[in-house]
Amino acid sequence: MVSLKSKKPLIISGPCSAETPEQLMSTCDELAQTGVVDILRAGIWKPRTRPGTFEGNGEEGLKWFADVKSKVNLPIATEVATSKHVELALKYGVDLLWIGARTTVNPFSVQDIADALRGVDVPVLIKNPMHPDIDLWQGAVQRIEAVGIKDIGLIHRGFSVYGSSQYRNNPQWHIAIEMRRRMGDMPMICDPSHICGNREFLLEISQKSADMNFDGLIVESHISPSDAWSDASQQLTPEDLKALLKSIIWRKQNDNSPKYLQALETLRSQIDGIDSELLEIISKRMSVASKIGEIKKDNNVAILQTGRWSEILDKMSKQAEKHNLSAELVTKILDAIHVESINIQNNIMNKKG
Interacting residues toward Mn ion by CB under 5 A: 16, 231
Q: Which stretch binds ligand PEP (CB under 6 A): 1-9, 100-108, 137-145, 328-336?
A: 100-108
Nearest to 6 by CA among 184, 158, 180, 215: 215
Main-chain phi, psi angles of 39, to 5 degrees = -140, 140
Q: Given candidates 10, 13, 28, 43, which one binds ligand PEP under the rule CB under 6 A? A: 43
Q: Does 16 bind ligand PEP (CB under 6 A)?
A: yes
236, interface contact from ligand PEP, Mn ion, none, CB < 5-8 Å by kind:
none
Please tell me the distance from the alpha carbon of residue 332 to that of residue 318, in angstroms, as a whole number: 15
Nearest approach, Cβ of residue 287 and ligand PEP (Å): 47
Please tell me the distance from the alpha carbon of residue 47 to that of residue 43, in angstroms, as a whole number: 9
Please tell me the distance from the alpha carbon of residue 31 to that of residue 197, in angstroms, as a whole number: 21
Q: Does 110 bind ligand PEP (CB under 6 A)?
A: no
Q: Does 85 bind ligand PEP (CB under 6 A)?
A: no
Residue nearest to ligand PEP (CB): 100
127, interface contact from Mn ion, ligand PEP, none, CB < 5-8 Å by kind:
ligand PEP
**Secondary structure element (H or E) that encloses residue 244, with its range:** helix 238-247
Please tell me the distance from the alpha carbon of residue 184 to that of residue 51, in angstroms, as a whole number: 39
The alpha carbon torsion through 342, 345, 346, 351 (nearest 10 deg) reads: 170
* 189 close to 10: Cβ distance less than 8 angstroms: yes
Q: Does 100 bind ligand PEP (CB under 6 A)?
A: yes
* 119 close to 149: Cβ distance less than 8 angstroms: no
Provide the residue type at 259 as one letter.
Answer: K
**Secondary structure element (H or E) that encloses residue 21, with its range:** helix 21-34
Please tell me the distance from the alpha carbon of residue 95 to that of residue 262, in angstroms, as a whole number: 44
Site for ligand PEP, residues 199 to 258, rule: CB under 6 A: none
Residue 286: other Cβ atoms inside 10 A: 14
Q: Does 194 bind ligand PEP (CB under 6 A)?
A: yes
Give the count of residues interacting with ligand PEP (CB under 6 A): 11
Nearest approach, Cβ of residue 231 and ligand PEP (Å): 7
148, interface contact from ligand PEP, Mn ion, none, CB < 5-8 Å by kind:
none
Q: Does 9 bind ligand PEP (CB under 6 A)?
A: no
Q: Does 101 bind ligand PEP (CB under 6 A)?
A: yes
Site for ligand PEP, residues 44 to 73, rule: CB under 6 A: 47
Nearest approach, Cβ of residue 350 and ligand PEP (Å): 46
Nearest approach, Cβ of residue 338 and ligand PEP (Å): 36
Q: What's the length of the chain?
A: 353
Q: Which residues bind ligand PEP (CB under 6 A)?
A: 16, 43, 47, 79, 100-102, 127, 157, 191, 194
